[in-house]
């Protein structure tokens, strides 16, 4: 059961039962990169994590996903990255449709996206360079490309000088920036981040979101779950609010909070 979020009541946001999409977000004639249609997710223990979620996200959008603990945000993300499958309804991501995917499609789908984790998930025995390079090696990139693109990804996140360090020699914020470099090194069209700033200090949170907005400016669609409402207000992007498994608000630019 999700905890009631007092901010909703405070700001007097109109609560709607089932939002299909935000009309302001829909570029004419373009297919959404992500579409949820009537999606329900119930876990095996009977928990209803998502109920009738309808949502479209278009190329180039930056979307914050907010809501109380237990609201269903991570479940929403897990359906996008195919860590979970819906019980009813359809999820479509980068042309992969939940009802029509084979097991081999799962790695194919994941190659179209970069994923940033709250707990970084770096490999401790590897240098910063190799942690980022690893994402390219698994997709069979050449050594030439790896050297070039890993360096530029590390420069982009401000860690060009730390390539030879190990994760345990870095601060939390630096480790997360390595996570970001790893997520973007294969040039994905979509970045998915579930609380990427959950384990870093507030200043570094801003830097991480700054970097994500910079990546977004270059054309990458970004979806970021966060608890940090001030951050959401400051960056003024589309906000999807989930409560008790339902999308209760969807606002074009920060207005929900
Ligand atoms: N694997 C699971 N099996 C059973 N129930 C689960 C599982 N994962 C999540 N849940 C339940 O589903 C609901 C939604 O969980 P979810 O992790 O999506 O919430 P959340 O919004 O990400 O919360 P938080 O902000 O704490 O990360 C919660 O009630 C949670 O207890
Ligand atoms: Mg979560």
Residue 45 in contact with ligand 1 by CB distance below 6 A: yes
- Asked if residue 176 has pLDDT above 50, the reply is yes
Residue 74 in contact with ligand 1 by CB distance below 6 A: yes
Q: Which atom of ligand 1 is nearest to the CA of 1?
A: 29
Residue holding tokens 């984790």? 117
Domain hosting 36: range is 1-110+236-252
Please name which ligand lies nearest the alpha carbon of 69. 1
Classify residue 171: in a domain, yes or no. Answer: yes
Is residue 245 within 8 A of residue 42, CB to CB? The reply is no
Nearest CA to ligand 1 atom 22: 74
Classify residue 212: in a domain, yes or no. Answer: no
For residue 202, what pLDDT band results from cuts at 50, 70 and 90? confident
Classify residue 215: in a domain, yes or no. Answer: no
Classify residue 163: in a domain, yes or no. Answer: yes
Answer yes or no: do 72 and 133 share one domain: no
Ligand 2 centre distance from Cα of residue 148 (Å): 34
The 3 state secondary structure assigned to the chain is CCCCCHHHHHHCCCCCCCCCCCHHHCCCCCCCCEEEEEEEEECCCCCEEEEEEEEEECCCCEEEEECCCCCCHHHHHHHHCCCCCCCEEEEEECCEEHHHCCCCHHHHHHHCEEEECCCCCCCCCCCHHHHHHHHHHCCCCCHHHHHHHHHHHHHHCCCHHHCCCCHHHCCHHHHHHHHHHHHHCCCCCEEEEECCCCCCCHHHHHHHHHHHHHHHHCCCEEEEECCCHHHHHHHCCEEEEEECCEEEEEECCCCCC
Q: Which of 71, 85, 184, 58 is nearest to 132 (CA)?
A: 184
Answer yes or no: do 19 and 80 share one domain: yes
pLDDT digits (tens, 9 = 90+) for 85-136: 999 999 999 999 999 999 999 999 999 999 999 999 999 999 999 999 999 9
Q: What is the CATH number of the domain that holds 89?
A: 3.40.50.300
Q: Which atom of ligand 1 is nearest to the CA of 77?
A: 18
- Asked if residue 15 has pLDDT above 60, the reply is no
Answer yes or no: do 4 and 52 share one domain: yes
pLDDT for 254 equals 63
Q: Which of 6-10, 161-165, 210-214 has the lowest mean pLDDT?
A: 6-10
Ligand 1 pocket test, pick from 3, 41, 44, 47 with the greatest ligand atom count within 8 Å of Cβ, gives 47
Classify residue 214: in a domain, yes or no. Answer: no
Ligand 1 centre distance from Cα of residue 69 (Å): 8
Ligand 1 pocket test, pick from 1, 64, 70, 193 with the greatest ligand atom count within 8 Å of Cβ, gives 70
Average pLDDT, the chain: 89
Answer yes or no: do 164 and 240 share one domain: no
Answer yes or no: do 9 and 31 share one domain: yes
Q: What is the mean pLDDT of residues 167-191?
A: 96
Answer yes or no: do 92 and 4 share one domain: yes
Please name which ligand lies nearest the alpha carbon of 194. 2
What global pTM score does this model have?
0.88
Classify residue 50: in a domain, yes or no. Answer: yes
Answer yes or no: do 11 and 64 share one domain: yes
For residue 10, what pLDDT band results from cuts at 50, 70 and 90? very low
Classify residue 206: in a domain, yes or no. Answer: no
Number of domains comprising the chain: 2
Nearest CA to ligand 1 atom 27: 69
Classify residue 32: in a domain, yes or no. Answer: yes
Answer yes or no: do 9 and 104 share one domain: yes
Ligand 1 centre distance from Cα of residue 248 (Å): 17
Residue 71 in contact with ligand 1 by CB distance below 6 A: yes
């Amino acid at each position: 059961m999700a905890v009631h979020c007092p901010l909703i009541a405070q700001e007097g946001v109109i609560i709607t039962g089932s939002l299909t999409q935000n009309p302001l977000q829909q570029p004419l004639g373009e297919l959404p990169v992500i579409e949820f249609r009537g999606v329900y997710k119930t876990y095996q223990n009977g928990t209803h994590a998502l109920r009738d979620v309808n949502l479209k996200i278009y190329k180039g959008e930056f979307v914050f996903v907010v809501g109380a603990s237990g609201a269903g945000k991570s479940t929403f993300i897990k359906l996008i990255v195919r860590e979970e499958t819906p019980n009813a309804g359809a999820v479509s991501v980068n042309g992969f449709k939940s009802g029509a995917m084979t097991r081999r499609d799962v790695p194919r789908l994941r190659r179209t996206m970069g994923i940033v984790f709250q707990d970084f998930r770096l490999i401790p025995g590897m240098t910063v360079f190799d942690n980022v390079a690893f994402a390219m090696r698994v997709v069979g990139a050449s050594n030439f490309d790896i050297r070039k693109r890993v360096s530029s990804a590390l420069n982009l996140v401000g860690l060009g000088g730390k390539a030879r360090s190990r994760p345990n020699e870095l601060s939390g914020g630096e480790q997360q920036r390595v996570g970001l470099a790893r997520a973007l090194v294969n040039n994905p069209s979509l970045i998915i981040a579930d609380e990427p700033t959950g384990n870093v200090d507030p200043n570094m949170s801003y830097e991480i979101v700054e970097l994500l907005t910079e990546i977004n400016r270059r054309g990458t669609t970004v979806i970021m779950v966060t608890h940090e409402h001030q951050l959401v207000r400051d960056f003024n992007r589309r906000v999807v609010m989930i409560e008790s498994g339902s999308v209760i608000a969807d606002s074009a630019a920060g207005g929900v909070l």
